[in-house]
Structure 1
Amino acid sequence: MCRLYCQDAEERQDLYQEIVLQLWRAFPSYQPTAKISTWLYRIALNVAISTLRQRTRRPAPERFGPTVPEIAQPPDTGPDADDLTELYRAIGRLSDVEKAFVLLYLEERTYEEMADILGITQNNVRVKMHRVQDKLRQLLTQPQYGTS
């Protein structure tokens, strides 16, 4: 999750620490009737999105430059590295909520789990997943979408 929502290693570490802190603070309110993984994802996702929004409202001075930062590159190397890089760039162009859907999908979460984590119905998850997949397909088929 930190990789999708942060540009560099320092930001990822800061986000990770914030997520751990919020999990620690929220643990006394955890209800054992909910799945622990769903509870963890919901808090982590909320922290990631709220942190990104705060950063967007008050960007660091060095962010004002001629280049647009890209999503962190995947650690994998090998024959599929270029495809992964393109996928990460396309994911980087999605909205915060769309990134959440992709993250949950890549984590192989069921629609039921996604619905619980995101607080929406399973039907809404299906519709939004379909739209996000279509948007990713469009981004990946656009010629040179990452260069401009």
Structure 2
Amino acid sequence: MSNDFYTTSILPHAGLIIKICRAYTDSQEDFEDFYQEACLQIWKTREAFQQKSKWSTWIYRITLNVCLTLSKKKQRQDRKVSFSNELSEHNSAFANEHLNLLYDAIKKLSEVDRAIILLHLEENPYKEIAAVIGTSANNIAVRINRIKKQLKELLDGKIN
């Protein structure tokens, strides 16, 4: 991957990639692996981008697919391994305790609801979220309200 492509096409959307990868990982090491693989897949599929949607939507879809694939692969490999929430101290995507609670709650959502709330947190309009998910904007509005209530319940109970 050239530095130019990374700097001009991926880096401006790094926040989006980070949020999605963070929502599907439990450790800094996994996060870094997911992020790197997402960037690699974005680079590999750049020629397939047909500009029918925004570049950020394309990045979201690629990153989400990478995270879902790697998550399923990791679950198969680590079925009997339980993750601890021991987090590294410095410059880690896992250093903020409140943010960790939010991501723990988001991880309790279904895969589709997780994708919807991440797009919503990125301030994407309902119409764009609906295009990514494959439903109507009205359906997205209803689902987001339900997801927010579910997250509030999880956070009020400090996630079980």
TM-score by length of 2: 0.71
RMSD: 2.5
Aligned match of 2:12: none
**1:20 and 2:35 matched:** no
Q: Distance in 2 between matches of 1:84 and 1:136?
A: 13
Which blocks of at least 5 consecutive residues in structure 1 are unaligned?
A: none
The 1:103–1:34 alpha-carbon spacing in structure 2 relative to 1, beyond 3 Å, is: same
SS state at 1:52 partner: helix
1:74 is displaced (CA, Å) by 5.0
Q: Is the 8 A contact 1:2 1:12 kept in 2?
A: yes
**1:101 and 2:100 matched:** no
Identity among equivalent pairs (%): 36
Q: Is the 8 A contact 1:38 1:116 kept in 2?
A: no
Q: Is the 8 A contact 1:74 1:88 kept in 2?
A: no
Deviations 1:77-115, CA, capped at 9 Å, x for gaps: xxxx6x544333322322332222221121111111211
Aligned residues: 136
**1:133 and 2:148 matched:** yes
The 1:57–1:124 alpha-carbon spacing in structure 2 relative to 1, beyond 3 Å, is: farther
TM-score by length of 1: 0.76
Query: Quick one: which amino acid aligns to residue 9 of structure 1?
Result: Q
Residue number among 53, 57, 63 corresponding to 1:34 in the alignment: 53
Residue number among 10, 25, 40 corresponding to 1:6 in the alignment: 25
Which blocks of at least 5 consecutive residues in structure 2 are unaligned?
A: 1-19, 88-92
Q: Distance in 1 between matches of 2:100 and 2:47?
A: 40
After TM superposition, what 4+ stretches of structure 1 lie above 6 angstroms from structure 2?
Answer: none
Q: Distance in 1 between matches of 2:94 and 2:78?
A: 24
Structure with the bigger RCO (C-alpha within 8 Å, sep 6+) is 1
Q: Distance in 2 between matches of 1:22 and 1:28?
A: 11
